[in-house]
Chain A
Amino acid sequence: MNQVRRILLVSLALAAAAVGSVRAQETAPQDGIESAALDIVPPGPPCALTVRDYLEHSDSGDKIEIEWGLSPDDGSGAGDVTGYVLSRSLAEGEVGDVLEEIASGATHYVDVSVEPGVEYYYSLEAYDGTNSSERVWAGPVAGRVNLFQWSRLSVLVLMLLFFAMVTWFTAAAGKGAKLFVRRIPGLNAIEEAVGRATEMGRPVLYVPGIGEIDNIMTIASLNILSHVAKITARYDTPLIVPTARAVVMSAAEEVVKQAYAEVGNPDAYNPDNIRYLSDAQFAFAGAVNGIMLREKPAANLYMGAFWAESLLLAETGFEAGAIQVAGTAMVSQLPFFVTACDFTLMGEELYAASAYLSREPKLLGGLKGSDWMKVVSIVLMVAGIVAHIVGLEWFVAWFQTQ
Chain B
Amino acid sequence: MRREIPLAITFLVGMFMLVDFFVPHHAVSSAAAEMKQWGTIVIAASILLGVGNLIRVHYKKISRKQEGWGYSIVTMSVMAIMLFFGGPWGTIQEGSAFNWMFLNVQVPLQSTMFSLLAFFIASAAYRAFRLRSVESSMLLISAIIVMLGRVPLGQLLTRGLPEQATLPWLTEMIMAYPNMAAFRGILMGAALGVMAMGLRVILGIERSYLGGDK
Interface residues of A (CB under 8 A from B): 58-62, 116, 145-149, 152, 155-156, 159, 162-163, 166, 170, 212-214, 216, 219-220, 222-223, 226-227, 245-247, 249-251, 254-255, 257-259, 261-262, 272, 274-277, 279-283, 285-286, 290, 294, 308, 311-312, 314-315, 329, 331, 334-336, 338-340, 346-348, 350-352, 354, 358, 360, 362-363, 366-367, 369-370, 373-374, 377
Contacts and interface: CB of A to CB of B under 8 A. Distances in A.
Given A152-B21, A226-B208, A339 B192 contact: no
Closest 9 interchain pairs by CB? Answer: A246-B50, A351-B193, A258-B211, A258-B212, A347-B190, A348-B193, A282-B113, A348-B189, A276-B50
B21 A216 contact: no
B60 A370 contact: no
Contacts, number: 217
A147 B193 contact: no
Which residue, of A58, A222, A276, has the highest number of chain B Cβ atoms within 10 A? A276
B24 A60 contact: yes
The A contact surface, by secondary structure, is helix
A373 B23 contact: no
Given A370-B193, A377-B192, A250 B49 contact: yes
B12 interface: no
Contacts of B212: 226, 255, 258-259, 261-262
A334 B68 CA distance: 33
B54 interface: yes
A294 B114 contact: no
Interface in B93-135: 106, 109-110, 113-114, 116-117, 120-121, 123-125, 127-128
Contact of A351 (B49, B116, B190): B190
Interface of B: 21-26, 29, 39, 42-43, 46-51, 53-54, 56-57, 60, 67-68, 71, 106, 109-110, 113-114, 116-117, 120-121, 123-125, 127-128, 183, 186-190, 192-201, 205-206, 208-214
Given A249-B50, A275-B53, A351-B193, A312 B43 contact: no
A402 B209 CA distance: 35
Contact of B56 (A262, A272, A339): A272
A262 to B, nearest CB: 5
B161 to A, nearest CB: 29
A255 B192 contact: no
Contacts of B22: 148-149, 152, 155-156
Contact of A315 (B60, B120, B198): B120
A284 to B, nearest CB: 10
17 contacts: A58-B24, A59-B24, A162-B196, A162-B199, A255-B211, A262-B213, A277-B54, A282-B114, A290-B71, A294-B67, A312-B113, A312-B116, A329-B194, A351-B194, A366-B205, A369-B196, A377-B188
Given A282-B110, A282-B113, A315-B124, A222 B183 contact: no
B121 A352 contact: no
B208 A227 contact: yes
Given A149-B22, A276-B50, A366-B196, 8 more contacts: A254-B210, A294-B67, A314-B124, A329-B194, A331-B190, A351-B197, A366-B199, A370-B196
A329 B193 contact: yes
B127 A374 contact: no
Contact of A329 (B26, B183, B190, B200): B190
A254 B50 contact: no
Contacts of A116: 26
A294 B70 CA distance: 12
A106 B110 CA distance: 51
A118 to B, nearest CB: 12
Contact of A250 (B46, B56, B121, B208): B46
A8 to B, nearest CB: 72
Given A61-B26, A331-B187, A360-B213, A367 B196 contact: yes
A227 B114 CA distance: 32
A290 B69 CA distance: 12
Contacts of A159: 195
B196 A283 contact: no
A308 B106 CA distance: 17
Nearest to B45: A246
Contacts of B208: 222-223, 226-227, 255, 354, 358
B211 A257 contact: yes
Contacts of A351: 190, 193-194, 196-197
Contacts of B125: 339
A323 to B, nearest CB: 16
Contacts of B25: 60-61, 145-147
Contacts of A166: 196, 199-200
B206 A149 contact: no
Contacts of B187: 331, 347
B124 A339 contact: yes
B132 to A, nearest CB: 13
A272 B60 contact: yes
B92 to A, nearest CB: 15
B99 to A, nearest CB: 15
Contact of B209 (A219, A346, A348, A352): A219
B43 A348 contact: no
A205 B212 CA distance: 20
Contacts of A145: 24-26
